Amino acid sequence: MLRFSLTATLALVGAGTLAGTLATPVLADGRLEARYKLSLAGLELGRAALVLEVDEKSYTASGSARLTGVVQAVSTGKGTAGARGQIDHGVLAPRAFAMEAETDKKAEAIRLVMNGAGVTDMNVEPPVMPVPDRVPLTDKDKRGVFDPMSAALIMVPGTEEALSAKACERTLSIFDGRQRYDLELSFERMEEVKAEKGYVGPAVVCRIAYRPVAGHRPNRSGVKYMMKNKEMYVWLAPIAGTRMLAPFRAAVTTAIGVAQLEALSFISEPMVGRQAGPAKAAIP
């Protein structure tokens, strides 16, 4: 449960979506700084921060998380995650992903190196243990995929309104170093959202379906539960100066209540004509 709390915080920070074509170059530079609260059944479990920066040729993403609230009384935990990549002919092309998470009982680290074809090098600590019921990962499972952090960005093609049902019309192929899975998104509704600081306005709500491909253990009750789970959603809000959207809120129904990540602060601004600095997220 404690490990789930920290890992879920990092995962939900990057549980948005990606893909698409950059349609209007003049609207290609933007920056987002966001702070989130993770809760389970109404109880605060953690805080997280996310910074996204994008220009016409590249993007960077940085996130951090720590356990707080009632969980902190029995266990400490913190983690960081980051990704960078290029924008090649209007398409996100991940180049590197790294994640580190640590509690008082366990530490893990994942590093991926990627090119246009897929993962070219990786290191996972502790390594994935071979067990008879685990669906094996193959080289094919590491091709044509995105890392979880790059999946925090949506680039909506065309010249129509970016904040629309089209943002949800996609299936995402993701490899996180341990598992290869698809997230199938479908449009649910439009909804007004309001952060304590920053963004106030409409968000597009996408329903999410989890489809494991490899690296998972299909007989595990948790895997079966998530495959059948029809109550997983992400709320996507716009990043100023771009045709991109990023997660404002995410919610997953679990056996013990709703796990939710919600923005306390969601501040974005265009960066046209400004010098971008290195993306770095810090938790208040």
- Domain assignment of residue 162, yes or no: yes
Q: Which domain holds residue 113?
A: 2-264
pLDDT band at 116 (very low <50, low <70, confident <90, very high): confident
How confident is the model at residue 265, as a pLDDT? 98
pTM value is 0.85
Buried b (16+ CB within 10 A) or exposed e, 179-213: bbbebebeebeeeebebeebbeebbbbbbbbbebb
How confident is the model at residue 94, as a pLDDT? 92
| 84 pLDDT higher than 80 | yes
How confident is the model at residue 157, as a pLDDT? 63
How confident is the model at residue 1, as a pLDDT? 41
CA-to-CA distance for 173 and 183, rounded, in angstroms?
Answer: 7
pLDDT band at 234 (very low <50, low <70, confident <90, very high): very high
- Domain assignment of residue 273, yes or no: no
- Domain assignment of residue 275, yes or no: no
CA-to-CA distance for 267 and 199, rounded, in angstroms?
Answer: 6
In one letter, which amino acid is 220? R
How confident is the model at residue 151, as a pLDDT? 78
Annotate 133-180 with three-state secondary structure: CCCCCCHHHHECCECCCHHHCEECCCCCCCCCHHHHCEEEEEECCCCE
| 75 pLDDT higher than 80 | no
| 241 pLDDT higher than 90 | no
CA-to-CA distance for 113 and 179, rounded, in angstroms?
Answer: 16
CB 67 within 8 A of CB 6: yes
- Domain assignment of residue 183, yes or no: yes
Q: Distance from first CA to last CA of the chain, Å, rounded?
A: 24
How confident is the model at residue 279, as a pLDDT? 54
- Domain assignment of residue 151, yes or no: yes
CA-to-CA distance for 174 and 158, rounded, in angstroms?
Answer: 24
**pLDDT tens per residue, range 199-226:** 999 999 999 999 999 999 999 999 999 9
Residue 60: enclosing H or E segment and its boundaries?
A: strand 58-67
Buried b (16+ CB within 10 A) or exposed e, 46-78: bbbbbbbbbbeebbbbbbbbbbbbebbeeeebb
| 99 pLDDT higher than 80 | yes
How confident is the model at residue 32, as a pLDDT? 94
- Domain assignment of residue 120, yes or no: yes
pLDDT band at 105 (very low <50, low <70, confident <90, very high): confident
> Rounded to 5 degrees, what angle do the CA atoms 147, 280, 59 make?
45
Measure Cα distances from 127 to 108, 122, 123, 196 in Å: 9, 11, 8, 40
**pLDDT tens per residue, range 117-174:** 899 999 999 999 889 999 999 999 999 999 998 876 776 766 678 799 989 998 999 9
- Domain assignment of residue 198, yes or no: yes
Q: Tally the domains of the chain.
A: 1
- Domain assignment of residue 66, yes or no: yes
How confident is the model at residue 271, as a pLDDT? 77
pLDDT band at 13 (very low <50, low <70, confident <90, very high): very low
CA-to-CA distance for 213 and 193, rounded, in angstroms?
Answer: 34
| 15 pLDDT higher than 60 | no
Nearest residue to 208 via CA among 222, 187, 189, 191: 187
Average pLDDT value for the chain: 84
Q: 16 vs 13, which has greater pLDDT?
A: 13
